Amino acid sequence: MAYGYTLLCAVALALTFGLERVLRTGVFRSRVYWVAMAIVAFFQVLVDGWLTCRPIVTYAEEQFSSVRFGCPDWAVFTAGGMPLEDVAFGFAMVTQALMWWVWWGRRLAAAPDRGR
């Protein structure tokens, strides 16, 4: 199916916001979260840029929007760069990780005898 990656990214974003409704961590209202996400986004451009420009990971053109961020004009880079969808993938993964981190922090703090 064409646009398969695009579709799964939409599902992942919906699941991420759905997970917050269940875990109620409040990350989206926290300044710490948004500042951290800005820092993470900067490093995502570097790391994902390297993965997709070299390339180490290659993408099937028909499976995503074909919108790419492009690469510096260096001889070591031979591919097209980060797909737009990777932004959603990264956002979903990092946000879910931070939500679970906050949630487990509260949960384990509520039962301190079990140790951290």
Partner 1 sequence: MGPYEYLALLAACLLITAPLEIVLGVRVYRQARRLGLTLLCTGVVFVAWDLLGAVLGHWDYHPQRISGIHILGLPLEEYLFFLVVPICAILAFEAVRTTIDDVGAWLRRRVGRR
Name the site residues for partner 1 (rule: CB under 8 A).
1, 4-5, 8, 12, 15, 31-33, 35-36, 39-40, 43, 47, 50-51, 54-60, 63-64, 90, 93-94, 96-98, 100-101, 104-105, 108, 114-116
3-state secondary structure of 67: coil
CB of 50 to partner 1, least distance (A): 6
Burial class (CB in 10 A: 0-12, 13-18, 19+), 34: exposed
Rounded to the nearest angstrom, the gap between the alpha carbon of residue 80 and the centroid of all alpha carbons in its chain is 19
Q: In Å, what is the CA distance from 40 to each residue of 12, 92, 109?
A: 18, 12, 27
CB of 103 to partner 1, least distance (A): 8
CB of 34 to partner 1, least distance (A): 9
Q: In the complex with partner 1, which residue's Cβ is closer, 70 or 106?
A: 106
